[in-house]
Amino acid sequence: MVVDARTHQPYGLLHGGASIVLAETLGSTASHLCIHSSKFYCVGLEVNANHLRGLRSGRVIAIARPVHLGRTTQVWDIRVSGEDGQASQLAGLPSGLAIVASFTGHFVIAAC
């Protein structure tokens, strides 16, 4: 993701919310790739983040790694780094993503 005026907060730093959107999008996409998408879909249950350093320009790269890929939940560790490879944010979907199945129009949501 590009770090510029579009993703800055008022002090000229990368907005934490933009980083979280990137992390959650990546985690949700990765989760989707791990399921049978004609039977299930994934929705986020929780996301948290620790902002380690501010960035003013350049790009950030997010890498998602599975921590747990269960039958009803997934937990992902997502690290957002600057172009120098140093982490700028550690994000997680700690309660994972609920894997939801659709049966005859009713939704069964997995409990975590």
Active-site positions read 24
- Which token pair is 94? 């700690």
Distances from the Cα of 34 to the Cαs of 61, 74, 87, in angstroms? 21, 9, 26
Instruction: Give the CA distances from residue 59 to residues 1, 18, 36, 62, in Å, rounded to whole numbers and listed in that order.
Output: 5, 12, 33, 10
The pairing of beta strand 106-108 with beta strand 48-51 = unpaired
DSSP 14: B
Indicate if the alpha-carbon torsion angle 31, 35, 38, 44 is positive or negative: negative
